[in-house]
Amino acid sequence: MHPKTTTKKKTIVGRDFKKIDMAILKQDLSFLKNNVKQVDAEMFTSKIRGIMDNHAPQTSRTVTDRTPSPWFSVESKTAKQARRRAERKWNKSGLEIDKQISQETS
């Protein structure tokens, strides 16, 4: 029996850039460019961060960082994929030959 592995929780922070309306973002950025003449780097960064928070707020999620199981190898993963592929083909077609192929891969 294999010893129980410890898992680590990791928090990932990101933004969903796919949901940004580019026309509105360009409008907000041009407004920032037109209104700011002499700005230090920290103020500019905070303004950009504020605009990004409006368009794509930061989201965080916790994921479990697991070590790979010693009994689940690359070969077993590819065999499982082949079995499922054959089973799905058999379920879709209903042919006897696909049933036999599915049973042979099991």
Give the per-residue pLDDT at 82.
Answer: 95
Instruction: Note whether 92 and 60 are same-domain residues.
Output: no
Verify that 51 and 8 share a domain, yes or no: yes
pLDDT tens per residue across span 17-28: 999 999 999 998
Q: Is the Cβ–Cβ distance between 62 and 40 less than 8 Å?
A: no
pTM: 0.49
| Distance, CA of 48 to CA of 3 (rounded, Å) | 49
The reply to whether 61 and 78 lie within a common domain is: no
Q: Are residues 46 and 76 in the same domain?
A: no
Q: Structural domain tally of the chain?
A: 2
The boundaries of the domain holding residue 3 are: 1-66
94: left (phi over 0), alpha (psi -120 to 50) or beta: left
Task: Please state the φ and ψ torsions of residue 87, each to the nearest 5 degrees.
Answer: -65, -40
